[in-house]
Amino acid sequence: MAVRGLKEKQATKDKRLWRSSSERGDISRNMLLSFLALCCGGAAVLYGLYSWLIPAAVQYNAWWALLWHDAIVERALNTLTRSTRPQRLLRAVQKKAIKGDPQSVISTIDYFCRHSEWAMNVGDEKGVILDSVVCEVSPSTALELGTYCGYSTVRIARLLPPGTKLITLEFNPDYAAVARQIIEYSGLQDKICLVEGASGDLIPKMQELFGIKTFDFVFLDHWKDRYLPDIKLLEECQLLRKGSILLADNVICPGTPDYLEYVRNSPRYESKYFKSHLEYTKVEDGLEKSVFLG
C-alpha cells in the first residue's frame, strides 16, 4: 500500500510538472505569436509610412519633398542596395525600355520616378514645356548645362532637326557614366556630345572644341548657383546671338532668385515664366524662357 501511495503521489507530481511545463510552453508560444504579430504590424505601419503616407504628405512641401527623397530615401536605398540612384535608374531602363526607342526610355524613367524612386530629372510635366520650346526654336546648335542621367538630354535630342548635335556638360563623372549608357540605349549617341567638366571651364572653349560660334538654344539644369555666372559667361564669350533662347529649370524649387532677377530686369532679355510643378510632385516649380535681345 505504501509503495502504491508513493507511486500515486509521484504520478500526481509528474502531472503537475507536465501541466506547469505545458502552461509555460503555451505562454511562450503566445508571447512569440504576440511578438510576431507586433513585428508584422510594425512592419506594415512602416511600409505604409514609407510607400504611401510620407510620400503623399511631402508632395506639397518643397523642403520636405527634397529632404525626404534626396536625403533620406536615397541614402537608405544606397546603403541597402549598395548602388546609387543613377545606377538603379539605369537598370530600370535596361530592363524595361525598348532599346533604340527614345520615347520608351523617357517613359520608363518617368514611370520609375513616379512609382519606384524619385529623381531630379526635368520630369514628364515640365518635359512637355521643354518639348514645345525645342520644337518652337528648332535649333541648329544646342547646349545643355547639367546632364545628370541623360533624361532631358534624350528628351531634347529626339526633337532636334537632322544634322543638329546637342552638346551637354556634366561635372559629376559618375552621372556622366550612367548618362552615356542611357543615351546609347536610346540610340541617340550620334546626336549628342557629352563632355565631362565644370561649365565655367568648358563654356569658354566651345568655339575651340566644337567650332560653335553661337547657340540657338541653351537648357540650364545644373547647379542653381551657376545659372547666372554661366549665362554671363555665355554673353562674354559671345556665344549668344540675337534671338537665342535660354530655358532654365527649377527656377522656383530649389530656386534661382538671382538668375530670375537678372533675366527679368535686364534690357538684354525678354522673359516668360511657365508655371508647373517640381518633377513628380505637387510642389510649385517652373521653367523660365528668356530670349536674348542682343
Catalytic residues: 221, 224, 249-250, 279
Those residues whose C-beta lies under 8 Å from the C-beta of residue 286, and which sit 6 or more positions away, are: 126, 251, 252, 273, 274, 275, 276
Specify the residue for cell string 542596395: 81
Query: Which amino acid is it at 224?
Result: K
254 preceded by cis ω (within 30°)? yes
Secondary structure element (H or E) that encloses residue 252, with its range: none
Q: How far is CA 4 from each of CA 9, 17, 146, 158, 234, rounded to the nearest angstrom? A: 9, 20, 94, 98, 109
The burial of 184, by beta-carbon neighbours within 10 Å (0-12 exposed, 13-18 middle, 19 or more buried), is given as middle
Candidates 168, 221, 213; CA nearest to 191 is 168
Coil/strand/helix, residue 246:
strand
Alpha helices in the chain (DSSP H): 2-48, 54-57, 62-66, 74-81, 85-96, 102-115, 123-137, 151-157, 173-186, 199-202, 206-210, 227-236, 257-265
Those residues whose C-beta lies under 8 Å from the C-beta of residue 189, and which sit 6 or more positions away, are: 180, 183
